[in-house]
Amino acid sequence: MIARPIFALLFVSACAPSVGRVGGVGGDTPASNVFHAPEPGESHLRNIRQLTFGGNNAESYFSRSGRQLIFQRQEKLDEGCDQEYIMNVDGSGMRRISNGLGRTTCGFFYDGDRRVLYSSTFRHDKACPARPDQSLGYVWPLGHLEIYTSRTDGSDLRQLTHNGAYNAEATVSPDGQRIIYTSTKDGDIELYTMSIDGTDIRRVTNRIGYDGGAFFSPDGTRIVWRAAYPVSAADTADYLRLLGNRAVRPARVELWVANADGSDARQVTRLGGANFAPYFHPDGKRIIFSSNYENPRSGRFDLFLVNVDGTGLERVTTHPDFDSFPMFSPDGRKLVWASNRHGKQTGDTDIFIADWVN
């Protein structure tokens, strides 16, 4: 969602995939059979399989059937920008489903895996958006993104938001009835839900600061998200200044949980650094996420598990590079995530899948 462009672009360069050319809509690549041994200490992971080879590949999320993945891909770091792709969980059948215009992000399956959501800038600008003003420092851009839905072959494209603001980071409730997403439509960066057809918009959060990357719990009653709230007058002034420039500074990002309507919000992590990309474990009692809290100035992010009350922090990955955007398969037997590990050149971010060992 918003974090991959800023973290992964710091560490990711690109090359054409070695397993075959990725075509446009309807194109595909053959399956790959590249397996890697877990790093020492990665006891939850077994049979790690690399699904993509080179470029920027991230935010890979399972279909409800567990048979396919949707993800965003930039084949060459300095050429073009992210588009949405679907592939089978063995890496075969890779095909682009977005129209190739602007930048896309945040894909998600719904409607019995017949349709997908994603966000794109193409209605506002068919070219790739410019990178953030470097004079602002280390910031995340808040582009002109709208939320769209299409069939899984890219056809029947429909626009769900129409406000010209930042509308992204959208996911769907387990019952398929509600979409939760992040928007600046009211000025601040807040969470909202809407019906699956884009109607009945309800605000979920109401606190100055960035709220984003939300997912529903397996039973749909709760949500988890990442938040960066100002803690001082100086922080607030800086936040508002950047917001006016359509950007946000991710200096301190922590995880929160709440009821699906936003009530009973509680902070989960107090680790410092950047803690993001949270996703509920299938048992609904734990959260997997990515963090650099041990060395916030480094490019190293690892996956961690934590109980919803913030106790029981446990490391999942130990590779010395970038590991993030984890998601469990619906049956809880597999984990998919994005990583810089085993890149053909420095900075490659690829999709990996592994058997999950409790």
Please state, in angstroms and as integers, the Cα–Cα distance from residue 23 to each residue in 20, 45, 100, 149, following that order.
Answer: 9, 31, 11, 21
pTM for this predicted structure: 0.91
Calculate mean pLDDT across residues 153-166.
98
Contact partners, residue 280, CB within 8 Å, separation at least 6 = 215, 216, 217, 218, 222, 224, 286, 287, 328
| 331 within 8 A of 295, measured Cβ to Cβ | no
Edge-to-edge strand ranges of the sheet holding 178-183: 167-172, 178-183, 190-195, 202-203
Instruction: Say what percent of the chain tops pLDDT 90.
Output: 82
Whole-angstrom distance, CA of residue 296 vs CA of residue 272: 8
Q: What does the pLDDT look like over 198-217, one tens digit per residue?
A: 999 999 999 999 999 999 99
How many domains in the chain? 1
β-pairing verdict for 158-159 and 146-151: antiparallel
pLDDT at 326 over 80: yes
Closest CA to 288 of 208, 354, 200, 224: 224
pLDDT at 120 over 70: yes
pLDDT at 23: 38
pLDDT at 221: 99
Cβ-in-10-Å burial (0-12, 13-18, 19+) of 340 comes to buried
pLDDT at 10 over 80: no
pLDDT at 103: 96
pLDDT higher at 23 or 231: 231
Contact partners, residue 195, CB within 8 Å, separation at least 6 = 177, 178, 179
**Residue 240: in which H helix or E strand, if any?**
helix 233-244
pLDDT at 335: 99
For position 347, which CATH number holds? 2.120.10.30
Whole-angstrom distance, CA of residue 232 vs CA of residue 191: 22
Calculate mean pLDDT across residues 161-178.
98
Cβ-in-10-Å burial (0-12, 13-18, 19+) of 270 comes to exposed
Task: Please tell me the least confidently modeled range out of 59-68, 70-79, 130-139.
Answer: 130-139
Q: How far is CA 59 from the centre of its chain?
A: 4
Calculate mean pLDDT across residues 5-32.
36
pLDDT higher at 292 or 347: 292
pLDDT at 333 over 90: yes
Task: Please tell me the least confidently modeled range out of 8-12, 260-264, 293-297.
Answer: 8-12
| 96 within 8 A of 87, measured Cβ to Cβ | no
For 82, the domain range is 3-356
pLDDT at 130: 86
pLDDT at 32: 58
| 85 within 8 A of 71, measured Cβ to Cβ | yes
pLDDT tier at 317 (50, 70, 90 boundaries)?
Answer: very high
Cβ-in-10-Å burial (0-12, 13-18, 19+) of 213 comes to buried
Q: What does the pLDDT look like over 304-313, one tens digit per residue?
A: 999 999 999 9
pLDDT at 131: 81
Edge-to-edge strand ranges of the sheet holding 314-315: 275-280, 286-291, 302-307, 314-315
pLDDT tier at 170 (50, 70, 90 boundaries)?
Answer: very high
Mean pLDDT of the chain: 91
Contact partners, residue 232, CB within 8 Å, separation at least 6 = none
| 248 within 8 A of 228, measured Cβ to Cβ | yes
DSSP state of 41: T
Whole-angstrom distance, CA of residue 229 vs CA of residue 253: 8
